Every structure is written in C-alpha cells, then in structure tokens.
Amino acid sequence: MSKQRDESDGAVTHSIQPDGAVTHSIQPDGAVTHSIQPDGAVTHSIQPEGAVTHSIQPEGAVTHSIQPEGAVTHSIQPDGAVTHSIQPEGAVTHSIQPEGAVTHSIQPDGAVTHSIQPEGAVTHSIQPDGAVTHSIQPEGAVTHSIQPEGAVTHSIQPEGAVTLSIQPDGAVTHSIQPDGAVTHSIQPEGAVTHSIQPDGAVTHSIQPDGAVTHSIQPEGAVTHSIQPDGAVTHSIQPDGAVTHSIQPEGAVTHSIQPEGAVTHSIQPEGAVTHSIQPEGAVTHSIQHDGAVTHSIQPEGAVTHSIQPDGAVTHSIQPEGAVTHSIQHVFFQYYNTT
C-alpha cells in the first residue's frame, strides 16, 4: 500500500490498495475525487460547485454529467442505449434505445418531438402553438395535421382510404374509400356536395340557396331538380318513364309512361290538358274558361264540346250514331205596367 497525506490544510489524499484500487482526492474545497477500482470501474468527480461527474462501469456503462446549473447528462449503457439531455431550461433530450427506437425532444417551449420506433413508426410533432403532427405507422397509415387554427388534416390508410379536410371555416372535405366511393363537400355556406358510390350512383348538390340536385342511380334513374323557387323537376326512370315539371307558378307538367301514355298539362290559369293513352284514347281540353273538350276513344267514339256558353256538342259513336247539338238560350225580360 502506498499513501500520501498533506494536512496543512490543502488536503491531498492518494491511495493505492493491494487489490489494485486507486483513489485520489484533493479538497478544502476545490474537491476533486478520482477512483479506479479493481473491477475496472472509473469515477471522476469535480464539485464545489461546478460539479462534473464522469463514470465508467466495468460492464461498459458510461455516465457523464455537468450541472450547477447548466445540467448536461450523457449516458451510454452496456445494452447500447444512449441518452443525452441538456436542461436549465432549454431542455433537449435525445435517446437511442438498443432495439432501435430513437426519440428527440426540444422544449421550453418551442416543443419539437421526433420519434422513430423499431417497427418503423415515425412521429413528428411541433407545437406551442403552431401545432404540426406527422405520423407514419408501420402498416402504412399516414396522418398529417396542421392546426392553430387553419386546421388541415390529411390521412392515408393502409387499405387505401384517403381523407383530406381543410376547415376554420372554409371547410372542404374530400374522401376516397377503398371500395371506390368518392365524397367531396365544400360548405360555410356555399355548400356543394358531390358523391360517387361504388355501385355507380352519382349525387351532385349545390345549395344556399340556389339549390340544384342532380342524381344518377345505378339502375339508370336520373333526377334533376332546380328550386328556390323557379322549381324545375326532370326525372327519367329505368322503365322509360319521363316526368318534366316547371312550376312557381306557371305550372307545366309533361309525362311519358313506359306503357306509352302521354300527359301534357299547362295551367295557372290558361289550363290546357292533352292526354294520349296506350290503348289509343286521346283527350284534349282547353278551359278557364273558354272550355273546349275533344275526345277520341279507342273503339272509335268521337266527342267534341265547346261551351261557356255558346254550347256545341258533337258526337260520333262507333255503331254510326251521330249527335249534333247547338244550344244558346236567350232570356228576355219585359216590364209590364
């Protein structure tokens, strides 16, 4: 054993032990401690008070620390984990783990977090508060978001779904689904909606409020409507039926049915009705009120009538009977004294 002391009091201690341990210490008090142990452990420390600690352990762990108070910590572990941290208070943390995970964080408070996980997940976030979040997951999902407060969200999912949304508040939503469905919507408040479904159905709508609706269905039905309120409706059905209508209020209706029936009507109020039926019947009528009715039936009967009131009736029946009638009755009143 070797030993040296000076107690004058600027103490220095130096010690070498028979097992190989070495200790060196200088105090009163600019304390320095240095130690080497027989297992290979090394410790170095300087304090009062600009503390520095350095340590190497026999299994390979290394720790380095500087404080009072601009703290820095650095650590390497025998499994390969690395941690680095700087605080008071511009905190930075950096960490690498043995399985491959990496974390990086800067705060007080312009916070940034970055993380890579061993399965491939990546997360990135910047806040206080111009928040941005970006995430990639190992199955392929991607999420992107920017807020405070011009929010944008973008998402791609592993099965193929894509969603985009922009709000505060000029809201736009766009969505594509893995089955082929597409939805697009713009609101606040000039709402437009567009939708295409995987079965082939298409819907288009514009409102607030010059409403237009257009729809095509997979079986072939088409509907078109314009309102507020110069209403127009147009419809074509898969069986061949066609309906057309214009109202508020100069109503026109036109209808063609799949069996061949045709109806046409104009009202408010110069009413005209025209009808052709599939068995051959034809009816024509003009009223309000200079009424005219004309009718041809499939068996050959013809009826014609003009009234209000210069009434004329004319009829031809299929068996050959003809009827003609003109009426006009005058009533004359006399005063008698």
DSSP secondary structure letters along 117-177: -TTS-EEEEE-SSS-EEEEE-TTS-EEEEE-SSS-EEEEE-TTS-EEEEE-SSS-EEEEE-
pLDDT in tens, 138-154: 999 999 999 888 899 99
Are 99 and 118 contacting, i.e. CB atoms less than 8 angstroms apart?
yes
Q: Which residue's structure tokens are 């390497």?
A: 76
Q: What residue ranges do the domains of the chain occupy?
A: 99-174
Q: How far is CA 104 from CA 4, 91, 92, 271, in A?
A: 48, 11, 8, 81
Over residues 256-281, mean pLDDT:
87
pLDDT in tens, 286-297: 877 778 888 888
Distance CA 84, CA 74 (A): 4
Least confident of 15-19, 130-134, 230-234, 322-326: 322-326
Q: What is the pLDDT of residue 7?
A: 54
Over residues 289-313, mean pLDDT:
83
Tell whether the model's pLDDT for residue 177 goes beyond 90: yes
Are 135 and 153 contacting, i.e. CB atoms less than 8 angstroms apart?
no
Tell whether the model's pLDDT for residue 71 goes beyond 60: yes
Tell whether the model's pLDDT for residue 9 goes beyond 60: yes
Q: What is the pLDDT of residue 334?
A: 45
Are 90 and 105 contacting, i.e. CB atoms less than 8 angstroms apart?
no
Contacts of 119 (CB under 8 A, 6+ apart): 138
Q: How far is CA 277 from CA 102, 117, 296, in A?
A: 80, 75, 10
**Beta strand ranges found along 137-288 (DSSP E):** 142-146, 152-156, 162-166, 172-176, 182-186, 192-196, 202-206, 212-216, 222-226, 232-236, 242-246, 252-256, 262-266, 272-276, 282-286
**pTM as predicted:** 0.60
Report the mean per-residue pLDDT for the chain.
Answer: 88
Percent of the chain with pLDDT over 90: 55
Residue 160: Cβ within 10 Å count: 12
Tell whether the model's pLDDT for residue 5 goes beyond 70: no
Q: Which residue's structure tokens are 């046409």?
A: 264
Q: What is the pLDDT of residue 232?
A: 93
Tell whether the model's pLDDT for residue 6 goes beyond 70: no
